[in-house]
């Protein structure tokens, strides 16, 4: 049996810090847990640095080198090491972004482990659709719908209603290629910035989602959505010009709302020709109906979120910058980055 190694001075210092730390639940780490954490930090240090003595945690700032050093380890061992890193860094003032990145990689590895179990896989029907439908298929469908909206068929009794429905469907799909919302567009209302400022302290404001239209910008204010209790008000600025142009065309040509009317009417963004807003179920049915007809498969907002994920292919070795788009998508949908990477990645 090899001789028992001596506990380093820094391990003792880290053990003391962890023993004094009070967790969110009011409890403290047990002695056995602390021994595992500090031992893993020691082992990880010597995987990154063949020689030398651990004196602090600044070496963890080079997160890419640290992640690279555990490439060949088993999944559970990687997770254990990263848990130790996250716990150890909680005792320091090291860059919060670095701490969060380690947590994101750990969460991703946990997701990968969960995928080995049936509950962690995509439902078979969804996976079948995602294997057959590409982003380009969705873009082509949107273009087809726009052409339908622009075409006036001679002798058609209700050309405007059909064109209106086609453009509305194209617009919803277009929004979902850029922002992975659930069915949050259903029931959302169009207002001006002036009226938004006037009503944002009222109960009416808290009970709805809002499309705020200004001369140069358009924003989506989410107040009513599945996880609103946890995340509160979410503001998404629509920055894609092709999307904002579509919204303005929809409002001017198909909703036929004049700028002065926007102030107080609170017009539903998505509605039937009668002006009745679409419900969440109505929106789902509209998307499924159009995609089934044009692509041969019913596409839901969940499938759209997976097809248009911005998560990098190699999440484990990604940089903080590479993960930012996925983080923004998670915010738009209203869930954690862990959920985004585990559930809403193709």
Q: What is the pLDDT of residues 14-37, one digit of tens each?
A: 999 999 988 888 888 999 999 999
Model confidence pLDDT, tens digit, residues 75-88: 999 999 999 999 99
pLDDT of 84: 94
H helix runs in the chain, sequence order: 9-20, 31-48, 63-69, 75-89, 96-114, 124-132, 135-150, 159-178, 193-199, 203-206, 228-231, 241-249, 259-265, 280-295, 301-307, 320-333, 337-343
Specify the higher pLDDT residue, 145 or 198: 145
At 312, the pLDDT band (50, 70, 90 cuts) reads confident
Q: Does residue 315 have a pLDDT over 60?
A: yes
At 142, the pLDDT band (50, 70, 90 cuts) reads very high
The residue-averaged pLDDT of 92-106 equals 90
Residue percentage of the chain with pLDDT more than 90: 56
Average pLDDT, the chain: 88
What's the CA gap between 346 and 342, in Å, rounded?
Answer: 9
What's the CA gap between 338 and 345, in Å, rounded?
Answer: 11
Q: What is the pTM of this model?
A: 0.73
Say if CB 67 and CB 45 are below 8 A apart: no
Residues near 237 by beta carbon (within 8 Å), at least 6 away in sequence: 217, 218, 219
Residue percentage of the chain with pLDDT more than 70: 92
């Amino acid at each position: 049996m090899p001789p028992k190694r001596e506990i380093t001075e820094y391990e003792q210092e880290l053990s003391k810090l962890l023993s004094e730390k009070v967790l969110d639940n009011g409890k403290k780490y047990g002695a056995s847990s602390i021994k595992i954490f500090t031992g893993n930090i020691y082992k990880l240090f010597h995987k990154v640095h063949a020689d030398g003595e651990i004196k602090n945690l600044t070496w963890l700032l080079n997160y890419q080198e640290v992640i690279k050093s555990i490439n060949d380890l088993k999944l559970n061992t990687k997770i254990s090491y990263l848990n130790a890193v996250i716990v150890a860094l909680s005792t320091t003032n090291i860059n919060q972004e670095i701490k969060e990145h380690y947590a994101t990689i750990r969460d991703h590895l946990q997701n990968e482990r969960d995928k080995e179990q049936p509950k962690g896989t995509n439902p078979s029907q969804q996976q079948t659709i995602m294997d057959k439908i590409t982003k380009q298929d969705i873009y082509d469908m949107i273009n087809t719908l726009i052409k339908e909206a622009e075409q006036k068929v001679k002798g058609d009794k209700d050309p405007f209603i059909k064109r209106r429905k086609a453009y509305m469907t194209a617009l919803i799909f277009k929004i979902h290629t850029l922002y992975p919302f659930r069915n949050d567009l259903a029931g959302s209302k169009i207002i001006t910035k002036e009226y938004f400022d006037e009503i944002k302290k009222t109960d009416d404001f808290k009970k709805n989602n809002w499309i705020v239209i200004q001369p140069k910008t358009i924003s989506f204010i989410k107040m009513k959505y599945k996880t609103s209790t946890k995340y509160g008000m979410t503001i998404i600025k629509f920055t894609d010009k092709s999307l904002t142009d579509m919204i303005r065309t929809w409002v001017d040509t198909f909703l036929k709302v004049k700028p002065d009317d926007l102030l107080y009417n609170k017009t539903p963004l998505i509605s039937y020709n009668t002006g009745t807003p679409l419900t969440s179920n109505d929106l789902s049915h509209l998307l499924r109906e159009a995609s089934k007809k044009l692509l041969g498969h019913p596409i839901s907002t969940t499938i759209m979120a997976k097809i248009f994920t911005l998560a990098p292919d190699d999440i484990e070795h990604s940089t903080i910058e590479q993960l930012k788009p996925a983080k923004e998508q998670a915010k738009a949908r209203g869930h954690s980055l862990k959920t985004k990477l585990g559930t809403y990645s193709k």
